[in-house]
A and B are shown apart, each in its own frame.
Chain A
Amino acid sequence: MKLLTHNLLSSHVRGVGPRGFPLRLEATEVRVIPVEFNPDFVARMIPKVEWAALLEAADHLRLAEVPKGPTQGYEQDETFLRKMHHVLLEVEVVEGTLQCPESGRVFPITRGIPNMLLNEEETQT
């Protein structure tokens, strides 16, 4: 699971609503795989990123060199975009967990794939 994805996920346990974001990320196995750098795509993603959630997740994965926020004129800032490209797209959690901050419910990540299924009792009506 990439950090871009983590930034888009929220818990849907019954009753938590917006307090289900962001999910707390823990990882027991992480890998870094190179992905071709596409500055236009990365620049498009910047406005959609919730920075506090990203920084928290990156911190749990002990990543270094994570920008603290978008720079002025980031669309043309290649250094910034390359760092964001790495953080959002090249770091993958292979085994780990995502935890709902409100209910404590844990969603496992196995072989890089999160399992977000809940029982009927746990979900929103």
Chain B
Amino acid sequence: MALPCSLNRYLLLMAQEHLEFRLPEIKSLLSLFGGQFTNNQETYGKSPFWILTIPSEDIARNLMKRTVCAKSIFELWGHGKSPEELYSSLRNYPVEKMVPFLHSDSTYKIKIHTFNKTLTQEEKVKRIDALEFLPFEGKVNLKKPQHIFSVLEDYGLDPNCIPENPHNIYFGRWIADGQRELIESYSVKKRHYIGNTSMDAGLSFIMANHGKVKKNDIVFDPFVGTGGLLIASAHFGAYVYGTDIDYNTVHGLGKASRKNQKWRGPDENIRANLRQYGLEKYYLDVLVSDASKPSWKKGTYFDAIITDPPYGIRESTRRTGSQKEIQKGIEKCPESHVPVSLNYHLSDMFFDLLNFAAETLTLGGRLVYWLPVYTPEYTEEMVPWHPCLKLISNCEQKLSSHTARRLITMEKVKNFENQDQYSHLLSDQFLPYQGHNSFREKYFSGITKRIAKEEKSSQE
């Protein structure tokens, strides 16, 4: 029953975590479903209330079937900075748009949500009564109404400073909730097979959304570990490949990562993880392979590459080396060749990753990966670049007082030709990039203290 109308305004109620990651997630999903991101505010900042225009309700519903950053979406009928402004705004909303949801055969209820304040039942009822001027003709049904309308009152973000009156009040028709329940149902706590660095479930879904993963895509993780990132993509209908240099992890052997558990059990491997969630049909294969020396044929067949490369802290960065260096601590590995343990400089690893993505991604396909940064020295110029890949977003997650990681999303916009491999050497960005190589040292050292001491002594 879509009415022919110009772009509708919607209110997104956002969850208040992973703040920087929210806007790129929504933008990526809107572009996936044919919407284009247009908004009436320059930035949303920390606010959980986002007003945006979306071409159709279908697109809005599709968005909510994917997002883990948004709690709910409402068709916005009115808003204001005071009740009077709200009511006036509601009176300006076209009646013909309201009528389909208010007619006498329908049932409805009105909910009051307040953010950063609690209201008494009496106060809530007063607010509902004040909306009597709206042309509701249907019957109230509190248990199973056909339509739910919500009043949302914004009392700011500071729990220590709650205003008497709300900053903003919104009124809208509830359309759908987002996918935040996935965070609990896919929680790493309940997963059969985990590693020391398994990705938090919420972030793994955000990564799949930044990657614009869709049904029937092929998604690849070259540092697959225990397969956590593949699970999110498989949940969204993509078929998945993974590789890792660590034989034991790929096979599900060796020491367990859970407290109180010594060795990994037979149900602990990547395939079993997908099976746990009913996603085994999306499992293509996993291979033991060195991401710096990939074994894929020439061609473009990955729709997305979504990965969390090692930072050299909790898991080492490795690539295959000469027989002289044997890695310590490999258990139960019958094969003689894990001739490993060359220091794989982080900057080389990202260079290899971007080149690989440029070569094997389909045009329009995305690369999503974490970049570890040493915060005191970080600048935007350090983010690796490639002539075939366009930077889409760069979102920070703090790890400690002086370290962070950034979720980088890039999109392939140009086909790969051989000479692109070397163009990074021509860039003066090459030098700052080297800073990543000593990330491990900086992470562990008290270098911040030393810098502070040096600054102090230079001022004296």
Q: In the complex, what residues of B have CB within 8 A of residue A120's CB?
A: 320-322, 339, 342
Q: Bound state CA distance, A107 and B296, in angstroms?
A: 14
A62 contacts the other chain (Cβ, under 8 Å)? no
Say whether, besides A18-B298, A36-B281, A48-B301, A119 and B286 are in contact (CB < 8 Å). no
Do B323 and A119 touch across chains, with their CB atoms under 8 A apart? yes
B216 in the interface, Cβ–Cβ < 8 Å?
A: yes
Task: Please name the residue on chain B nearest to A9 by beta carbon.
Answer: B295
CB distance from A108 to the nearest CB of B (A): 7
Cβ of B259 within 8 Å of any chain A Cβ, yes or no, is no
Using known A-B contacts A8-B297, A12-B294, A119-B323, determine if residue A35 contacts B281 with beta carbons closer than 8 Å.
Answer: yes
- Collect the chain A residues with CB atoms within 8 Å of residue B284's CB: 2, 4-5, 89
| Chain A residue contacts of B288, Cβ below 8 A | 113-117
Interface hit among B70-78, B243-251, B367-375, B411-419: B243-251
Q: Are A48 and B322 in contact (CB under 8 A)?
A: no
Q: How far is the CA of A113 from the CA of B295 in the complex (A)?
A: 14
Tell whether A31 is near chain B: CB-to-CB under 8 Å.
no
In the assembled complex, the CB of B275 is this many whole angstroms from the nearest CB of chain A, namely 11
Contact B296 A10 (CB under 8 A): yes
Interface code B307-341, partner A: CB below 8 Å = 1, 0 otherwise? 00000000000001111000000000001011100
* 1/0 contact string of A8-36 vs chain B (CB within 8 Å): 11111000001001100000000000011
Q: How many Å lie between the Cα of A30 and that of B387 in the bound state?
A: 43
Q: How far is the CB of B421 from chain A (nearest CB, A)?
A: 12
Q: B205 at the A/B interface (Cβ < 8 Å)?
A: no
Spot the interface stretch: A37-45, A65-73, A75-83: A37-45
Residues of chain A contacted by B281 (CB below 8 angstroms)? 35-36, 38
* Max chain B C-beta neighbours (<10 A), residue from A41, A108, A111: A41
A52 close to B (CB within 8 Å)? no
| Complex Cα spacing A18 to B296, Å | 11
Closest to A44 in B: B216
A10 in contact with B295 (CB, 8 Å) = yes
Report the Cα distance A23→B43, complex, angstroms. Answer: 52
Query: What's the least CB distance linking B285 to chain A, in Å?
Result: 4
- B335 near A115: Cβ-Cβ < 8 Å: yes
A3 CB to closest chain B CB (Å) equals 10
Interface size class of B (residues with CB under 8 A): 20 to 34
Chain B residues positioned under 8 Å from A111 (CB to CB): 251
B239 within 8 A of partner (CB): yes
Determine the interface band of chain A, counting residues with CB < 8 A from chain B.
35 or more
Distance to closest chain B CB from A27 (angstroms): 14
Closest-by-CB residue of A relative to B319 is A120
Set of chain A residues within 8 Å of B293, measured between Cβ atoms: 12, 118, 123-124
Contacts of B286 in A (CB 8 A): 113
Say yes or no: B335 contacts A1, CB within 8 Å.
no
**Interface of B: prevailing SS:** loop
Q: Which residues of A contact B335 (CB under 8 A)?
A: 108, 110, 115
Nearest chain A CB to B60 CB, angstrom units: 25
The docked-state distance in angstroms from the alpha carbon of A4 to that of B228 is 23
Closest CB of chain B to A117's CB: distance in Å?
Answer: 6
Give the complex CA separation of A108 and B250 in angstroms.
Answer: 14
Binary interface encoding of chain A residues 87-120 relative to chain B, with 1 for a CB under 8 A from any of its CBs, else 0: 0010000000000000000001011111111111
The answer to whether A119 and B298 have CB atoms under 8 Å apart is no
Contact residues in A for B287 (Cβ distance below 8 Å): 1, 5, 113-116
Cβ contact within 8 Å between A117 and B245: yes
B290 contact set on A, CB distance < 8 A: 116-118
State how many angstroms separate the Cβ of B335 from the closest Cβ of chain A: 6
Inside 8 A of A117's CB, which chain B residues have their CB?
245, 247, 288-290, 320, 337-339
Residues in B neighbouring A123, C-beta threshold 8 A: 293, 320
Least distance between A8 CB and chain B CB atoms (Å): 6
Q: List residues of chain A with CB within 8 A of the CB of B243.
A: 116
Given A115-B287, A117-B290, residue A21 in contact with residue B320 (CB < 8 A): no
A119 in complex: contacting residue of B289, B294, B339, CB < 8 Å:
B339
Report if B108 contacts A (CB, 8 A). no
Q: Which residue of B lies closest to A88 (CB)?
A: B284
Residues of A within 8 A of B241 (CB): 5
Q: Shortest beta-carbon distance, B274 to chain A, in Å?
A: 12
Whole-angstrom distance between the Cβ of A99 and the nearest chain B Cβ: 13
Q: How far is the CA of A41 from the CA of B295 in the complex (A)?
A: 23
Inter-chain CA distance A11–B296, complex, in Å, is 8
Q: Does B299 sit within 8 A of A, measured CB to CB? A: yes
Query: CB within 8 A of A9: which of B216, B297, B320, B339?
Result: B297
Complex Cα distance, B286 from A1, in Å, reads 8
Chain B positions within 8 Å of A50 at CB level: 297
Q: Please report which residues of chain B, range 110-141, place their CB below 8 angstroms from some CB of chain A when the two chains form the complex.
A: none
Inter-chain contact B239/A116, CB cutoff 8 Å: no
Q: Name A's B-contacting residues (CB within 8 A).
A: 1-2, 4-5, 7-12, 18, 21-22, 35-36, 38, 40-41, 44, 48, 50, 89, 108, 110-121, 123-124
What are 20 sample pairs from A and B whose C-beta atoms fall under 8 A apart?
A: A1-B285, A2-B284, A8-B296, A8-B297, A9-B296, A10-B298, A11-B295, A21-B297, A38-B281, A41-B216, A89-B284, A113-B288, A115-B289, A116-B289, A117-B245, A119-B320, A119-B339, A123-B293, A123-B320, A124-B293
